[in-house]
Amino acid sequence: MRLSEFRDAVAVAFGQEYAPTLCREMALTSLDSLTAQQALDKGIAPRDVWHALCDQMDVDPAVRAGRDPRMIIPPRR
DSSP 39: H
**Is 75 within a domain?**
no
What distance in Å separates the CA atoms of residue 66 and residue 73, rounded to the nearest whole number?
7
pLDDT attached to residue 76: 64
Do you know the residue count of the chain? 77
**Is 41 within a domain?**
yes
**Is 72 within a domain?**
no
Question: What's the total number of domains in the chain?
Answer: 1
pLDDT in tens, 4-53: 989 999 998 999 999 999 999 999 999 999 999 999 999 999 999 999 99
**Is 70 within a domain?**
no
Can you list the pairs that 8-11 forms with residues at least 24 positions away whose Cβ atoms lie under 8 Å? 8/66, 8/67, 9/50, 9/64, 9/66, 9/67, 9/73, 10/36, 10/50, 10/53
| Full domain range(s) for residue 56 | 3-64
pLDDT attached to residue 1: 85
